[in-house]
Amino acid sequence: MSTATLIGIIVAAVVVVLALTVTLVVLSRRRRLRDRFGPEYGRAVREEGGRLAAERELRSREQRHEKLEIKELPAERRHQYADEWRGVQERFVDRPEGSVADADALVSRLMRERGYPTDEGFDGRVRDLSVEHGSTLGHYRAAHTVKTRSAEGGATTEELRGAMVHYRALFAELLDDERTR
């Protein structure tokens, strides 16, 4: 076998190994993003128009999230929030629309106290929550949609009840977030 042939085989083998390595790295990153963001990964792919753009967006969210100072609340504050939540739920019977608005405000206040920025509106809150709470964002989106319709007078009592259930899912996860412990 000539030297040129041997060099050609070695170069080809190196190219194949590099291609396999790059493929494995890309697949590993994709799997990690899918695991971390849950259903939010698929939503990002649809909204961003493809996997590469979605993965770039999700990595950007991770980088932003790393700069946030998310903190666990002391037990006393968690108990106070839990008491406030029970009050919001109890008022639902007499004031369903108001209770949904109160639940939204309570979730926002809890987010702010935990260290999430809340001044960039709903989309900003969703973006920041998606990194650690991707599996619960569907609840938050559904609750917010009903709250918005309710403010316009277009939500039924059953939809408002459903919104409370959705808010409770995110509230419970934010209140007792084991990932921060």
Which residue type is seen at 176? D
Provide the sign of the torsion angle of the four alpha carbons 127, 129, 130, 131, taken in this order.
Answer: positive
- C-alpha 172/C-alpha 178 separation (Å) is 11
Tens-digit pLDDT profile for residues 46-94: 999 999 999 999 999 999 999 999 999 999 999 999 999 999 999 999 9
Positive or negative torsion for Cα 121, 127, 130, 132: negative
Residue for token pair 């939010």: 40
pLDDT tens digits along 92-120? 999 999 999 999 999 999 999 999 999 98
- What CA–CA distances, in Å, run from 117 to 33, 125, 169? 22, 7, 20
Give residue-wise pLDDT tens across range 112-168: 999 999 998 999 999 999 999 988 999 999 999 999 999 888 899 999 999 999 999
Note the pTM of the prediction, 2 decimals. 0.81
- Domain boundaries in the chain? 3-67, 75-180
- Rounded to the nearest 10°, the torsion over CA 170, 171, 174, 177 is -90
